[in-house]
Amino acid sequence: MILIQGSWWIFGLEVRIQVRSKLEMDVILEPEERSSTPGQSSPHMVEFTSLRQHGDSDGASHDAVLVSDSGRTFPVDRTLVASHSPVLKALFTFPGEPHPDGVYSLQCIPDSCVEANLTWIYQQNLPLSLRNVTLILEGAHYLDCGEVVQKCLDFIFRHLSPSNVISLAAFGQFHQIYALSHHCQRYIEYHFRRVVQHSEFLAMDCNALFELLWLENLNAPEELVWEAVVHWIYADPEYRRVFLPTLMRAIRFCQFGYLFLSEMVIPQAQWILPDDPEVRSILSKFTSLYHKEITWSGHFMVPLVEPPFPSWPRLSQDVIVTFGGWSGEVAVNLMESYDIRANRWTTLPFFDPIDGRADFGVACLGSKIYFVGGSSNQRELRSVTSFDLITQTFTNCSPMNFVRTKACVVAFKGHLYAIGGFNGSRRSQTVERYESERNCWTKMSPLRFARSGAGSTIHRGKIVIAGGFDGFTQLDTVEAFNLATQKWVSMGKMCTRRSDLSLVSLDGVLYALGGFDGRDWLATVEYYDPRHRIWHFAPSMSSPRANFSALVVDGTIMVVGGFDGQSGIREVESYNPNQREWWPNSPLNVGRYGLGASLVTGNHLDPATLVQFAYINRDRLMEEMLASGEMAQKPRYGARTDLVTTNSDSEDEGNEEGNETDEEEVEVDEEGDQIGGEEEQALEGEIEAYFSEEDEDTSEESFGDADDEQEPA
């Protein structure tokens, strides 16, 4: 392994040590992961292998010899090798220095790297591992072997994780492999919350950290950015405390609520660098803003905050879109987007070809949001429409096999699943899957119980359905779909019967929120304890709501709209599991229930698209918030910060209200007969093991992060 020398725009000396330690892990690819073409052996490879083993015997099989930095020789066919490497072609044809003996020296390239590149040229086979990929990439980049470079990059991208991305970005920057450094930079920006929890982040130098924190596209609430600064300084406080004033200039203090500034930022800053005049000046500058009485008329002649302190929020890297729903008794054709960083809703100028849709399912695949089934002013639908955020166009997709309103729709492993629902006469237990490549729907194994108005989500790599209405009563049953066995299994019962609820999964915890129990509209929230297989109550929402949407945003649960028993509501609120508190968000422009909401992750969108869905007055948001008093009323934590030490109770609220026993529904076969005895015991064992295993898509070595899974509405 060649150690990196020098310093770069984002990484310091400590990271150079990490490059070696991170990349020398001996993780060999499985056969299907190898960058190779198995079963193919060209005459060139037979020749290359023979020459490599026996040396140049007669001079007829080759016309050139490459010499690595250790002096090892590689007899090659000059024409074949030159066709894959412009650098070697130039070396063979350069007229300035004659090579009468046909020997060409590659002084800077190790023999293993030369061998790997020649193996690809002759056999189209490239055995890569985490131990050798950077060395092979370095040599391939030097030789300008584009195919080998791309194979190495594809391998690295598949194994990129928060624990190795900084060192890999440093490697790419140093060797001017900009496809690698840019990809890693984007990964760091988007997954900042996870990157800051690893040792490579703590190894960054001050200049690198400042440039990272200054980025407009950093995907983090400002509270987390401050906590990251404190976390970095705490790693070596005696040496790093003097950098606090410099790093504070990258913080957007105007996005803090007064409580966070006064209770967290000021005490921590004073502990890190007590009585420092520059720190005191910065803090007093922003503290005084909260006490100003201003009238906002659209602009100020003089900015309230002078450079170098940015006053506008960062560009949100995820897009939240709400669509349709009931306003009164009318299904509206309305789309709004939510700017997560600005906490503002914007009405969008896009309209579904179906004029008004409510009680439909919504899910996201890539940059497209799919609206599935629902009702259009007293007409049940089986139609499906997609909206592409990049092209900003609607497309009619293949309709479902069944009419469905109030069905569950989730995106799972690249497909859409439409589950249950109401067809106008009865509740359904049918399930079907949509394949976007083929634009077709396929029938799947049915639910154990017919239901509409249920909650659905992806939990630990499984589809989970909870609650709903079966035509006679509200349900408390929960079932999960096993993709391997194509069967639905029970997860026991919730504490409360609920229909028109929302179900979300956050940090491996399953939450059921709101709904209707047959008599009252609910504000209660409960979560599932997989160890004891029972449900416990969590803090309730501030107001009851049913037929609403819920999303996971910045490590919090955000609930949007709904019906409170009287009308559609505008209120939006978020739950912070660290603080066990709910706080209000900016309300919808139009109160609705039966709406759909979806979060499109920024790794599927380009910056130009993100700007189009951002709040249009971002550059003057601070003045708006000051004039309305919103900054002073902002909660202590505007978003969840995993680096903050909290004193939350270990005991769950409302445990005494939870189920004392875990009642299991009886499994029924296709003829309706009960399954008992050994079959039921086997089913119980299957359930216990079902959620104890981690899904392969959530492993840290996987390029597809768990954060990329789309939460259904």
Q: Give the lowest-confidence range in 317-326, 399-408, 481-490.
A: 481-490
| pLDDT of amino acid 236 | 94
| pLDDT of amino acid 292 | 59
Strands 64-67 and 103-105: parallel
Distances (CA, A) of 43 to 123, 143, 597, 667: 9, 23, 58, 61
| pLDDT of amino acid 459 | 93
> What share of residues in the chain are helix, strand, coil (percent, to 5)?
30, 25, 45
The pair phi, psi for residue 440, each rounded to 5°, is -145, 160
Q: What is the mean pLDDT of residues 79-96?
A: 84
* Residues above pLDDT 90, as percent of the chain: 52
Question: For residue 176, with 0-12 CB atoms within 10 Å meaning exposed, 13-18 middle and 19 or more buried, which class applies?
Answer: exposed
Residue range(s) occupied by CATH 2.120.10.80 in the chain: 319-706
| pLDDT of amino acid 422 | 96
Q: 68 falls in which pLDDT band (50, 70, 90)?
A: confident
Q: 36 falls in which pLDDT band (50, 70, 90)?
A: very low
319-706 CATH? 2.120.10.80
Structure tokens given for 91: 């070396």
| Nearest-angstrom CA–CA distance, 176 and 551 | 40
Which range, 113-117, 450-454, 684-688, has the best average confidence (pLDDT)?
Answer: 450-454
Q: 497 falls in which pLDDT band (50, 70, 90)?
A: very high
Contact 338, 344 (CB under 8 A): yes
Q: Give the pLDDT confidence of 155-197 residue by residue, as tens digits.
A: 999 999 999 999 999 999 999 999 999 999 999 999 999 999 9
Mean predicted lDDT score pLDDT of the chain: 80
Q: 309 falls in which pLDDT band (50, 70, 90)?
A: low
Q: What is the pTM of this model?
A: 0.78
Q: 106 falls in which pLDDT band (50, 70, 90)?
A: confident
| Nearest-angstrom CA–CA distance, 562 and 547 | 5
For residues 702 and 465, the model is more confident at 465
Q: Give the pLDDT confidence of 44-53 residue by residue, as tens digits.
A: 444 444 444 4
Q: Give the pLDDT confidence of 238-273 residue by residue, as tens digits.
A: 999 999 999 999 998 888 888 888 889 999 999 999
Q: Is the pLDDT of residue 556 over 70?
A: yes
| pLDDT of amino acid 291 | 65
Q: 308 falls in which pLDDT band (50, 70, 90)?
A: low
Q: Which of 156, 173, 68, 160 is nearest to 118 (CA)?
A: 68
Q: What is the mean pLDDT of residues 552-577?
A: 94
| pLDDT of amino acid 655 | 34
Q: Which of 442, 509, 556 is nearest to 691 (CA)?
A: 509
Residue with tokens 């349900």: 475
Q: Is the pLDDT of residue 430 over 60?
A: yes
